[in-house]
Structures are given as structure tokens and as C-alpha cells.
Amino acid sequence: MARAAEPPGIAAGINQIEGYLLLQGERDAARERARRLTGRLDWLTSAQRAEVERVYIQDQLAVTEQTLRTVVRRCEELRAEYREVYRTLRRRLLLTCLLGAAALAGGLGAALTVR
């Protein structure tokens, strides 16, 4: 997660570490799920058990990678949408402030000329 006060290099490093830890956690979880699956298949030989676990883990990591890519793509879409909404709101606020200042100046000018 990038933090605003950090230089870009540090934020990128933190993102890499977070990604690495996420991947390791998912590998461990996939490995555990594979062991539970093959544990119920007591008729497998040791070699078959190892192969089923390897294929299962590989498949799970592929699913995780695809899911993360989908999430990243959606985050980028949302970031772009929110950035545009923020720009629009900022322009509206600026316009409102300018119109308010102009109205205030006009009202003040009118009040001063009446006296």
C-alpha cells in the first residue's frame, strides 16, 4: 500500500514486500488445501499424492493470479473514475467560490455606492 509521505522508491519497495507476503501466504494455503484433499484419497501412492498436490497448488496459484489481476484492473478503473469525479467536484467548488466572491464583491460595491 503506497503511503503519501514516502518517496516513490520506498512505496514501491513496500508494495513488493506486501505482494511477496501475499503470494507466500497463498502458497501456504494452497499447499494446506492440497494436503487435505490428498489426505482423503488414501488409495494414492506417494508419487501420485505428490503429483496431485503439485497440480492442485499450481492450479490454485493460477486462479489466485487471475483473481488478483482482475482486482488490480478494477482498482485502476475505479481510480480513474474517482479522479474524474474529484476533478469535477473541484471545478464546481472553485466556480461556486468565484461566483460567491463575485456576488459578495458586487453586493459590497452596490452597498458602498448607495451610501
> Residue 115: pLDDT band by 50, 70, 90 thresholds?
low
C-alpha cell of residue 2: 503506497
> Residue 74: pLDDT band by 50, 70, 90 thresholds?
very high
pLDDT digits (tens, 9 = 90+) for 19-43: 899 999 999 999 999 999 999 999 9
Phi then psi dihedrals of residue 82, to 5 deg: -65, -35
The whole-number pLDDT of residue 107 equals 87
The whole-number pLDDT of residue 5 equals 65
For residues 68-88, average pLDDT? 96
Residue 1 in this model has a pLDDT that exceeds 70: no
pTM over 0.85? The answer is no
- Residues 26 and 65 sit within 8 Å (Cβ to Cβ): no
The whole-number pLDDT of residue 6 equals 66
CA dist 84 → 65, 88, 104, 106 (Å):
29, 6, 30, 33
In sequence order, the 6+-apart residues with CB closer than 8 A to the CB of 63 are none
